[in-house]
Amino acid sequence: MTISTRFRIWHRYLGYFLAGIMAVYALSGMLLIFRDTDFLKEEKTIQKTVKPNATGEELGQLIGIKQLKVQQEDATTIAFENGTYNKQTGEASYVVKELPKMLNKMTKLHKAKSAEPLFFLNVFFGVSLLFFVISAFWMFLPGTTIFRKGMYFTIAGIVLTLVLLFI
């Protein structure tokens, strides 16, 4: 069996095996483009009790809001974007906008970090995609019309990528 035939077989079956996860990554990748908007997000009211008498700086860490900006503060309350905090009771009430549960899980899968167990899947998927890139060049024999046309598309794709990276 030639190397070309082996690459075609591996390419085919790995493609079938990864079809589901490729669909998830494609959809979540498109959703992540709109993460700075409210596209498809739902409002959710959160009530939390944290330590009383927290400062504005502490409050963001206590309730899990990065870069919390205090809008108004008096002796008993702190008001911030989309919420309030009662200094005496420690009760915080605020509204967050989140994707629906399944879409949120998909985007978390896409953004898994090295400290999370899912990072192995991301590394495997990345290596698989690199294999697809390399094995694609063994799908057709060099010198054939299809291979030549493929090289033109490859060059066009590389040029487009470089233009997008440097503009």
Per residue in 10-26, pLDDT tens? 999 999 999 999 999 99
| Cross-sheet strand order for the sheet of 91-98 | 42-49, 91-98, 83-86, 77-80, 70-73
Can you give the pLDDT at residue 117?
87
Query: Given the DSSP bridges, would you call strands 77-80 and 83-86 parallel, antiparallel or unpaired?
Result: antiparallel
Can you give the pLDDT at residue 1?
86
Region 19-48 average pLDDT: 94
68 and 144 assigned to the same domain: no
**pLDDT greater than 90 at residue 32:** yes
120 and 139 assigned to the same domain: yes
80 and 62 assigned to the same domain: yes
23 and 105 assigned to the same domain: yes
32 and 49 assigned to the same domain: no
Domain edge (last residue) among 98, 113, 132: 98
Question: What is the reported pTM?
Answer: 0.73
73 and 129 assigned to the same domain: no
Q: Which residue has the higher pLDDT, 27 or 118?
A: 27
pLDDT band at 155 (very low <50, low <70, confident <90, very high): very high
Say how many C-beta atoms besides its own lie within 10 A of residue 126's C-beta: 10
60 and 139 assigned to the same domain: no
Domain edge (last residue) among 98, 114, 130: 98
52 and 32 assigned to the same domain: no
Q: Mean pLDDT across the chain, nearest whole number?
A: 93
111 and 85 assigned to the same domain: no
Can you give the pLDDT at residue 47?
96
Domain edge (last residue) among 98, 116, 135: 98
32 and 105 assigned to the same domain: yes
Can you give the pLDDT at residue 56?
85
pLDDT digits (tens, 9 = 90+) for 105-144: 999 988 889 999 888 989 999 999 999 999 989 888 888 9
Q: Name the domain count of the chain.
A: 2
105 and 92 assigned to the same domain: no
Q: What's the domain range around 144?
A: 3-36+101-166
Exposed/middle/buried for 19, CB within 10 Å: 0-12, 13-18, 19+? exposed
112 and 55 assigned to the same domain: no
Can you give the pLDDT at residue 77?
95
